[in-house]
Amino acid sequence: MEMTLRWYGKDFDTVTLEQIRQIPGVKGVITTLYDTKPGEVWSRERIKAMKAEVEAAGLHVAGIESVNIHEDIKLGKPSREQLIDNYIETLTNLGEEDIHMVCYNFMPVFDWTRTELARKRPDGSTVLAYNQAAVDALVPEKMFDSIAGDTNGSLMPGWEPDRLAHVKELFDEYKDITDEDLFENLKYFLERIMPVCDKYDINMAIHPDDPAWPVFGLPRIIINKENIQRMMKMVDNPHNGVTFCSGSYGTNLENDLPDMIRSLKGRIHFAHVRNLKFNSKDDFEEAAHLSSDGSFDMYEIVKALYDIGFTGPIRPDHGRMIWGEKAMPGYGLYDRALGAAYINGLWEAIEKNAKRG
């Protein structure tokens, strides 16, 4: 594995490349062109400039998170043809610039969903949290009222008006889209992009849906072992792989994380490692990476990655906000740096132990 940190680019991130460079064992960043829109072609020049900036700081670009997928592709609309052509052009430009791992997700309308961005934990840190009752209380009609400025409606944290501009129309478009349709549309997309991935050796790494079940009546398919195996088989090419995100698959306590990892040998191209603390099965918060702070056995997760011979980039995922840091929720420096050091420690111990026999 290669330890990395996610970096949003200097215009958006509070964390600098110089700081990242000083985290022991981190040589690579996972980055993106954060100001591009889904469907847009990423130009060769911009990719080159991004790489040069990262390399000038003594780091390298270990992969992209994310090249986002336009909703029309997920919806299977005729306009997807042009949009997939654009995606292929972006992949070509990334490949020409020697970038070989692309993370993306296939979640309708929203990326991750949390109900609180700063829940206080007993140690005084604040974390992202999810409570199912809070989501259930949020009937879509109320959501749209609140977007229109009705303060009685409850807007979800992190859902800035921008992100929601076309949400109502999108909900309407997804009304008749089933899980089967979504699988079909994903298959169509993957089949179209595999030739360019083969040509440039680009590993596509789908990120799981978070939480790992349908929210607001929207279909969600990248949620468990069965569905992910189906996805691997339906486009059976090693470049069609996954981002194994412990914190996203782990939202569903029925997902056996080490077992899932073992079942994906050769197809995990990127790993997000984080811990969750469950207060009940319907309420969880994002704990420190350390096993004893949350509900997962992090040793078993890292061990499973080691055992399958995982060689791709790995990163700590959402961190807590600690030591007074002000940053994008989940993406401060301090707790993610602690997470990287901890995962590195687990890996070193597992590796030395294995080599000793």
Q: Which residues bind ligand CS2 (CB under 6 A)?
A: 65-66, 103-105, 111-112, 207, 210, 245, 272, 317, 330
Residue of 100, 239, 289, 318 with catalytic role: 318
With CB under 5 to 8 Å by kind, the binding choice for 116 among Mn ion, ligand CS2, none is none
Separation between Cα atoms, residue 308 and residue 354, nearest integer Å:
13
Comparing CA positions, the residue from 160, 167, 178 lying closest to residue 74 is: 178
85 is catalytic: no
With CB under 5 to 8 Å by kind, the binding choice for 95 among Mn ion, ligand CS2, none is none
Burial class (CB in 10 A: 0-12, 13-18, 19+), 46: middle
CB of 280 to ligand CS2, least distance (A): 22
245 is catalytic: yes
With CB under 5 to 8 Å by kind, the binding choice for 96 among Mn ion, ligand CS2, none is none
CB 231 within 8 A of CB 204: no
CB of 312 to Mn ion, least distance (A): 14
Considering only residues 218 through 247, tell me which ones interact with Mn ion, judged by CB under 5 A: 245
CB 339 within 8 A of CB 294: no
Closer to ligand CS2 at the Cβ: 146 or 243?
Answer: 243
Cα end-to-end distance, the chain, whole Å = 20
Considering only residues 263 through 302, tell me which ones interact with Mn ion, judged by CB under 5 A: 272
CB 292 within 8 A of CB 258: no
Contacts of 208 (CB under 8 A, 6+ apart): 105, 222, 223, 228, 242, 243, 245, 248, 249
Binding mask 300-329 for Mn ion (x = CB under 5 A): -----------------x------------
Residue of 331, 334, 335, 342 with catalytic role: 331
CB of 128 to ligand CS2, least distance (A): 8
With CB under 5 to 8 Å by kind, the binding choice for 80 among ligand CS2, Mn ion, none is none
CB of 69 to ligand CS2, least distance (A): 9
With CB under 5 to 8 Å by kind, the binding choice for 335 among ligand CS2, Mn ion, none is none
50 makes contact with Mn ion (CB under 5 A): no
With residues binned 3-state (H G I as helix, E B as strand, rest as coil), the percentages for the chain, rounded to 5, are 40, 15, 40
Comparing CA positions, the residue from 281, 285, 215 lying closest to residue 247 is: 285
Contacts of 139 (CB under 8 A, 6+ apart): none
With CB under 5 to 8 Å by kind, the binding choice for 113 among Mn ion, ligand CS2, none is none
Residue of 239, 245, 249, 335 with catalytic role: 245
Separation between Cα atoms, residue 201 and residue 194, nearest integer Å:
10
Residues found near Mn ion in the complex (CB under 5 A): 245, 272, 317
Could you give the residue numbers annotated as active site? 207, 245, 272, 317-318, 331
